[in-house]
Structures are given as C-alpha cells and as structure tokens.
Amino acid sequence: MFWEKKSSMKHAFTMAEVLITIGIIGLLAAITMPMVTRSIPTKEEELHKKMSYLIEQIAGQLANNEAYYPRTNDIAKTGFQNTDEVTVDGVKYGGGTASSIARKQKFCMLFARQMNTMGPVVCSNMNVNSKTTSPSFKTSDGVDWWIPQTTFKETTNGQVKGFVKIKIDVNGYNNGGNCMVKSNTCRKPDTFYYYIKSNGAVTLNNPTAVADRTYQIVPNIVTRDADGNILSQVDGVASGSNRIGIAEIRANGTYGSFSTAAASFNNLDSTKNYMLRAQPTTNYLSNWSTKNSSETYGYKKVRPIKTKTEVPVEFKQIKKYCIQLKVDCPSGGTSCLASKQFRYNCQYIDVGLGNGDYSRPSANLDNYDYEAPGNGKGRYRYQCSSITTLSQHPTKTNYLQRCNLDPGDYMIYVTPTSGLKVFPSITGHNYYQQNVRLGTKDLEDFEVEVRY
C-alpha cells in the first residue's frame, strides 16, 4: 500500500505583496479622509444653519403679526415699511415724525425682542459693512448681531431699498477669525450677511433694489348738461378757453398754492394727503363739497395709494330758467309799458349808524330802495340787486320774457306810462309786483292789463 507524503511547506505573503497592500490602503485613506473630514460640520457651520433658520422664522412671524405691523391699504406702509407706532406689553415701538429715530428703530427693536439677548440692545445708524462697528446686541448662544436703523427705504450705509442688510458673527466678534463666507482666504467663515425684505422674505444674495414707485393722481372729469347728459370728457389739467372746468392740486391740503400744471399731479408722495380743487367755469358746478353755498369751487382730499389713482369729478351745467309775462295794452302792443324789469334777491339791511354795520336777509320786500329813520339805530334800506329789463318774446305777441336765469328768488314789476293804470296793482300804488322763486321749472302764468 502506498501512502501519499504530505508537504511540510507553509504558504505566506511575500514582502512585495505586503508593501503593495499597504500602499493601496494608504492611497485610499489619503483620498477618503478629507471627504470624511469635510462631511463633519464645524461649530461655525452648525451655528450658521441654526441662525439662518432662526432669522427666517422671526422675519416671517414679525411681518405677519398684526400687533406689530398692522395691515393697511397704503402701499407705502406694507410689511416692515409700516413704521407707525404700536404698543406691545406696555412698550411703544415706532411712531413719531416721518424722520424720527423711533420709526427707524422699530424693526431692530422688535426683532431683538424675539430673541434671548444679553445686555442692552443698541439699534444705531450703522454701516454693517464696517469691521469696527460694535454689534447691536449679543444673544445667549454667543452670536453677535448687527441690525441697523431702517425704514426699508434707505440706500445709504450699504443698504438696498426695500431690504435691510444685517450681519451676524456666530462665534462673537471678539472670538475667531471674523472672516466671511465666499472669501478665498477664509477657511472657517464665521461672519454672514442676510438681506431681509419688507415682506419678511430672507436671502443671502445681494438683492436687486426695489424700484421707486411713481404715484400719480389723475382727475377724471366728466361734464354733463342740465338734464344729466354727458357732454364731453375734459382733460382736468390742460388749459384752454373751451374748458368746462379744471382740477388743481396742492400738497397736504393745508398749505401752499394750488397748481394746475400736469407735472404737479405726478411723482407724488404716498405718505401725504393732497387737496384737489375743482374750478368750474360759469354756469357749472362740481359734485365735490364746497366750503360755503356761495362758493363755486369744490374740494376733495386724496392720498395716492396706487401708482395711478383716478379721482372722478363731475361738472354739471346749472339748470337755467325763463320767466314769461303777458301784458295786455290798450293798443295791443307793448309801448304802454314804461318799465319792464325784475330784481333778484332782495335784502333788508340795517346800516346801523353808531352801532356797527350789519345786515340780514329777508323775504322779497319792496320793488325799490327805501330809506327811513332807524329810531336812533341808523337807517333801514331795502335793496334788490341785478335789476334787469324784460324783453319782447321772439314769437308771442304781448309777451315779455327773461331767460338764462339761475335758481333763486326774483321780483317782477311793471309800471305803465303816464295816464295809464295797471291791473292788478299794489294797493296804493300804480305798479304791478310779483315775487317768484325759480328752481324747478320755467314760470309762465303771469298776466297784467294796462288800461286808460
């Protein structure tokens, strides 16, 4: 029987194989270690992520908090641009004059209120790009914050209109390298900029400035005849002899002269009120309110809340009336009439000699001016204005008329020539008198007779 002889040799790696293996492992380590190291966030990166989330949360909550930033129809006061005063837990924020520090500090103070700050909060007129400016406040996690005064309308100190540029140093201004992200020489950035928009949005990138709004008031004028029919559309700011009326404007409604120039209705400040004045031509009135019944100007206060605020104004023709009077003369003509007149708005006036002049209106009184002793108080006078002659009616025989009359009180009277008498007549006098009021229709139901 044959037995197989077993070999006593043992197998092992050669020195060359070992060196090759070690070389491969070293090469892999050299490749993967930096990747592993970079995947482990630094303390600065962790704080940066935490602060980014915190800033977005606080900015969004502030912008939507009615207690801090009430909603308004004024476009110029949307979101953080509403710097009007609010009171939170007994503390006032914002308000004051348009340029007051309180208005500019409102956002910074309310933002800091949402955080666990250490020490005082100083919201100054700082340039956040400066490396020497002290922070506005420090939070309990050791982060320094720079938040400047702002109304979200500044373009100074590195600010972009419509945004506020803030800065944070995640490990504190006095600790660490104080270098910024995206810098070629900064290996461990600890300083970061944020741009917060007035609506609460947050970005790390330098934003495009919000374009200035051009606010404009456009008077939209419509003219109507006395029956309410539209006559034409009239440009409210142009001049010309064919204007039914024009619109005028002045700032704030309390001072300054009115202007009719087209340019004065453009480039307006949306934070101001403007007083518009409608100036109708003769025989027209506007539908805007007047200061008193004798004034033809109409007034309207407007604040431009849109880029183009149209303001309707209506000029309506004043209704005019006619008065017709039939006079029967013995000869069948009109030569028997020596006076054919009416008078408008008679008044009773006390001259008040020695006691001061004063007057008070009365009903239609007499057909001529009359003076009498005033029992020590002066003279009394009956006055009627606008004495106007009636004219022959163009088509009706024996008819006199006067047209194009404004609404109001009138007095018609007729005096015959010598030797003739008028019927009816005022007791004790040889003249006809009739008080009338115009306001709803023409008056045609008057007739007098002249006799020998």
Q: pLDDT band at 242, cuts 50/70/90? A: very low
- The per-residue DSSP string of 6-62 comes to PP-------HHHHHHHHHHHHHHHHHHHHHHHHHS--HHHHHHHHHHHHHHHHHHHH
Q: What angle do CA 276, 279, 284 make, to 5 degrees?
A: 135
- pLDDT tens profile 317-332: 888 889 888 888 887 5
Q: Does residue 351 surpass a pLDDT of 50?
A: no
Q: pLDDT band at 298, cuts 50/70/90? A: confident
- pLDDT tens profile 150-173: 999 888 888 998 999 999 999 888
Higher pLDDT residue, 360 or 433?
433
Predicted pLDDT at 81: 92
Q: Does residue 31 surpass a pLDDT of 80?
A: no
Q: Does residue 413 surpass a pLDDT of 90?
A: no
- Whole-model pTM over 0.85: no
Q: Does residue 190 surpass a pLDDT of 80?
A: yes
Predicted pLDDT at 9: 57
The per-residue pLDDT of the chain, averaged, comes to 78
Q: pLDDT band at 381, cuts 50/70/90? A: very low
Q: Does residue 373 surpass a pLDDT of 50?
A: no
Q: Does residue 90 surpass a pLDDT of 70?
A: yes
| 69-75: average pLDDT | 82
Q: pLDDT band at 293, cuts 50/70/90? A: low
Burial of 100 (0-12, 13-18, 19+ CB in 10 A): middle
Higher pLDDT residue, 112 or 390?
112
Predicted pLDDT at 380: 44
| 109-136: average pLDDT | 91
| 199-218: average pLDDT | 85
Q: Give the CATH fold of the 321-451 domain.
A: Immunoglobulin-like (2.60.40)
Q: pLDDT band at 394, cuts 50/70/90? A: confident
Q: Does residue 92 surpass a pLDDT of 70?
A: yes
Q: Taking a C-beta distance cutoff of 8 angstroms, is the pair 307, 213 a contact?
A: yes
Q: At what angle do helices 43-63 and 101-113 cross, to 10 degrees?
A: 120
Q: Does residue 256 surpass a pLDDT of 60?
A: no
Q: Does residue 78 surpass a pLDDT of 70?
A: yes
Q: What percent of the chain has pLDDT over 90?
A: 21
Name the residue among 351, 344, 414 with its Cα closest to residue 384.
344
Higher pLDDT residue, 388 or 416?
416
Predicted pLDDT at 137: 95
Give dist(CA 5, CA 7) in Å, integer.
Answer: 7
Give dist(CA 304, CA 266) in Å, integer.
Answer: 10
Calculate the alpha carbon distances from 35 to 38, 40, 338, 395 in Å.
5, 9, 120, 111
Q: For residue 48, what are the β-bridge partners?
A: none
Q: Does residue 149 surpass a pLDDT of 60?
A: yes
Q: Does residue 254 surpass a pLDDT of 80?
A: no
Q: Does residue 362 surpass a pLDDT of 60?
A: no
Which amino acid does the sequence have at 414?
V
Calculate the alpha carbon distances from 95 to 99, 124, 214, 271, 277 in Å.
10, 17, 25, 14, 31
Q: pLDDT band at 40, cuts 50/70/90? A: low
The two tokens of residue 24 are 């491969």
Give dist(CA 239, CA 68) in Å, integer.
Answer: 47
The two tokens of residue 298 are 């109409």
Higher pLDDT residue, 344 or 105?
105
Q: Is 90 helix (H, G, I), strand (E, B) or coil?
A: coil
β strands within 239-374, DSSP E = 245-251, 274-280, 284-286, 298-302, 308-317, 321-328, 337-350, 358-360, 371-373
Q: What angle do CA 132, 137, 140 make, to 5 degrees?
A: 125
Q: Which range in 41-50, 52-61, 150-159, 225-234 is most confidently predicted, on average pLDDT? A: 52-61
β strands within 188-253, DSSP E = 191-197, 202-203, 216-224, 230-235, 245-251
Q: Does residue 430 surpass a pLDDT of 80?
A: yes
Name the residue among 35, 134, 77 with its Cα closest to residue 303.
77
Overall size of the chain counted in residues:
452
